Amino acid sequence: MNIERSDRLKKLPPYLFVEIDRAKKKARSQGRDIIDLGVGDPDIPTPKFIIDELHKASLDESTHRYALDAGLLELRKAIAEWYKTRFNVTLDPETEILPLIGSKEGIAHIPLAFVNPGDRVLIPDPCYPPYRSGTIFAGGEPIYMPLLEDNAFLPDLKKIKPDAAKRAKIIFANYPNNPTGAIASKEFFKDLIAFAKKFNIIVCHDAAYSEINFDGYKAPSFLEIEGSKEIGVEFHSFSKTYNMTGWRIGFVCGNKDVISGLAQVKSNIDSGVFTAIQIAGIAALKSGIKNAIQFGSMYQERRDTVINGLARLGWKIQKPKATFYVWAHTLKGYDSTSLAKHILEKADVVITPGVGFGTYGEGYIRIALTVGKDRLAEAIERIKKVI
């Protein structure tokens, strides 16, 4: 039998992290000691009080049934309280908040609610891959906005052609940014809102890294800006803030009509987040900012270990003020893929080639700060011997 995959799957580039994982597993099967600085998966366990809350909730038989599509009202209220405390933003738990099976799931599905075949979606380049794949699955046409170092890795909204903007349904933004570690000011968000209003475009802002901040910086929310809820939503994840990557829980909040559209898609695809995980999520949110401060301090120390170590090898890298990534230029004689391959084969260190995030990621590599300081120092020493 000839089993042929759909055209939409054929349009997708190979998913970057699957390719990296394949190479990593092959190296480990050969008995090599691999230091993995590729995928952004925190190495610190989920805090014990969150695990304890999950265990307790899982013993309650009422949590074993299908979850409500909109999630527990108690969770939505806890999200609203967290937003008010953190950003001074007021959200209606009934209409302006929707729990997700991880923010990735919501980001990938939202084009299905608003994009028709042939519609355009404005996507940063480089970017988190689901912005692109979700658009392609919905039949939309990705229009890429270059994130250039000369513009602090912000999209130049003035350079977006009016024809592309008029046909666009969604614009994706992501600050603090993956993969570049760049940050955005409130002034940028004001410009983004004005642009979206002018062309009637939905803003989807991915704020997964809002709580990993360094050097006294504190990332703002897109929803802090006047007019934001008229045209957009913001995605958040428990994965980075509370080290809950495997738990698959996140949320989106903002414009009620956008929330309602995504909720309609999800009601036809999934049955909600496991109720016991939602209850654990409430405990996480109510713990305040203590964990975020602790994790931020740890990642800052790791950041400095990597950047100072690479500086001794001749790399000049600006210290990011947020995220747990270092975005660095490739070395002379290498493109991003060949450098990543060389470092894996010769130093047993996994890094991510920038081109995997988009055309404008070429010329860079991404290093994830998701192993301990001593292992990061060892990785630098290994790299030193092969470059």
Q: Is residue 182 part of a domain?
A: yes
Whether 179 and 57 map to the same domain: the answer is yes
Q: What is the CATH number of the domain that holds 135?
A: 3.40.640.10
Residues in Cβ contact with 4 at an 8 Å cutoff, skipping those fewer than 6 apart: none
Domain span at 141? 48-286
Whether 40 and 89 map to the same domain: the answer is no
Give residue 353's pLDDT.
Answer: 95
Residue 217 CB-half CA count within 13 A? 24
Rounded Cα distance between 36 and 379, Å, is 9
User: Tokens 């975005």 — which residue?
Assistant: 327
Q: Is residue 74 part of a domain?
A: yes
Instruction: Give the model's confidence band at 29: pLDDT under 50 very low, under 70 low, under 90 confident, else very high.
Output: confident
Give residue 290's pLDDT.
Answer: 64
Whether 121 and 245 map to the same domain: the answer is yes
Whether 53 and 182 map to the same domain: the answer is yes
Whether 277 and 301 map to the same domain: the answer is no
Give the SS3 label for residue 56: helix
| Torsion sign, CA atoms 161, 163, 165, 170 | negative
The mean predicted confidence, pLDDT, of the chain is: 94
Whether 39 and 111 map to the same domain: the answer is no
Residue after which a domain boundary falls, among 286, 306, 334: 286
Rounded Cα distance between 206 and 233, Å, is 9
Model confidence at 68: pLDDT above 90: no
pTM surpassing 0.85? yes
Model confidence at 75: pLDDT above 80: yes
Percent of the chain with pLDDT over 70: 98
Q: Is residue 255 part of a domain?
A: yes
Residue after which a domain boundary falls, among 246, 261, 286: 286
Give the SS3 label for residue 271: coil
Reported as a single tens digit per residue, the pLDDT across 248-263 is 999 999 999 999 999 9
Reported as a single tens digit per residue, the pLDDT across 336-374 is 999 999 999 999 999 999 999 999 999 999 999 999 999
Instruction: Give the model's confidence band at 291: pLDDT under 50 very low, under 70 low, under 90 confident, else very high.
Output: low
Q: Where are the beta strands (DSSP E) in 210-268?
A: 232-237, 250-254
Q: What is the CATH number of the domain that holds 12?
A: 3.90.1150.10
Reported as a single tens digit per residue, the pLDDT across 97-151 is 999 999 999 999 999 999 999 999 999 999 999 999 999 999 999 999 999 999 9
Give residue 39's pLDDT.
Answer: 85
Residue after which a domain boundary falls, among 267, 286, 305: 286
Nearest to 23 by CA among 40, 42, 38: 38
Average pLDDT (25-45) is 90
Average pLDDT (306-313) is 94
Q: Is residue 2 part of a domain?
A: no
Residues in Cβ contact with 137 at an 8 Å cutoff, skipping those fewer than 6 apart: 8, 108, 111, 112
Number of domains the chain contains: 2
Rounded Cα distance between 193 and 86, Å, is 21
Residues in Cβ contact with 317 at an 8 Å cutoff, skipping those fewer than 6 apart: 307, 310, 311, 326, 327, 328, 329
